[in-house]
Amino acid sequence: SLDWGYTDDNGPSTWAEKYPLAAGARQSPVDIDTSKATSDNSLVDREIDWSYPSNCSYRIVNTGYGWRVDTYGDDTALSGGPLSEVYKLEQFHCHWGATNDEGSEHTVDGKSYAAELHLVHWNSEKYSSFKEAASQPDGLAVLGVFMEIGNADNAELEKIISLIPKIIHKGQDSQASFDLDFGSLLPESKHYWTYLGSLTTPPCNECVIWTVFKEPITISERQLEVFRSLKSVGEEDAIEPEEGKLVKNYRPPLPLGNRVLRECGP
Ligand SMILES: Oc1ccc(S)c(O)c1
Ligand SMILES: [Zn+2]
C-alpha cells in the first residue's frame, strides 16, 4: 500500500520522515492572509492567459490518494500573470474533505472551501520533460480553484465524475476522449493570489509557481460524495465495502514564512 496518505498513521504530519522536502520553507498549501497580499505594479495588466483545446483524449486514474486526469498537453498553453514562460497542461486533480466545511488545501483568512481543483502545468519552454521541470524552482505552474457546494451539478466536472465508478480501486484507470471545456472549470473572475510553493503531496518538491483564484466554482454535494467513494486500496485488497474510502485527501496549510504573497485582478 502507499507509504504516505491522509490517515492518522501516514498523514501530512508524518510525511517529513520519508520525504524531507515536506519540512522545507517553501511548502504548500498556505493560508492566504488577505491583509498580507501586496498588489504592487509587478502584475498590473498581467492577467493569466490559458488556451486549452475543446476536444482532447484523457486518461483518468485512481492514484490511491485521489483521481487524476492525465492530459496530453500538446496544444495547451498557460502564460501571463506571474509566469515568464509558456507552460503546458500535464494533469489535473482534486483535493477534498470528509465534510463540506473542510477539504480545500489553501485557505483564505482561515476559511476552508469544500474542495480544491489543481491544474498542473510545466515549463516546456525551459525544460524538456515534466519530470525535469518538477525538480526546478520555476518548473511547474499550478492553478488552484476553490470549489464550494451549490445546488447545481457542475456540468463539465460531471464528464469526469461519470468515469469514477470505473476507477473505484487504486491503480484502475479509464481512457476517454471528451470535449472538456476547461474554461468552465475556471471561475469567471481572473482575480488571483500568487506565491512560490510546492507540490502538496509527497515528495513535496518546491517547484511550483502557485496561482490561486479568489472566486470559487460550485459543485453539488452528490458530485463531492462521488469523490469520497474512491478507494485508497487496490481491488485485490480484501476489505469491507465501507473500508478504505478516500473521504479526505487535503494537506493543511504550512507557514508562508518570509515569502511574498501578491494579488492581481479586479
Ligand atoms: O504534479 C503535482 C502533483 C501533486 C500536486 S498537489 C501538484 O500540485 C502537482
Ligand atoms: Zn494537488
Q: Identify the weakest region by mean pLDDT among 8-12, 196-200, 226-230, 243-247.
A: 243-247
Q: What is the number of the ligand 1 atom nearest to the C-alpha of 251?
A: 6
> Rounded mean pLDDT of 160-174?
95
Please state, for a pLDDT cut of 90, what percent of the chain lies above it: 78
Which amino acid, 86? V
Q: Whose CA is nearest to atom 5 of ligand 1?
A: 199
- Ligand 1 closest atom vs CA 90: 1
Cα of 250 from ligand 2 centre, angstroms: 8
Task: Look at ligand 1, atom 3, and give the residue with the nearest C-alpha.
Answer: 199
Name the residue among 71, 79, 78 with its Cα closest to residue 55. 71
CA distance linking residue 214 with residue 113, whole number of Å: 11
pLDDT above 60: residue 1: no
29: cis peptide before it, omega within 30°?
yes
Distance 102 CA to ligand 1 centre (A): 19
In this predicted structure, what is the pLDDT of residue 73?
Answer: 67
In angstroms, the first-to-last Cα distance of the chain is 46
Q: How far apart are CA 176 and CA 163, in angstroms?
A: 9
pLDDT digits (tens, 9 = 90+) for 26-72: 999 999 999 999 987 787 777 889 888 877 778 999 999 999 999 87
Measured at the CA of 87, the angle between CA 262 and CA 227, to 5 degrees, comes to 80
Q: What is the mean pLDDT of residues 177-198?
A: 88
Would the CB of 201 count as within 6 Å of ligand 1?
A: yes
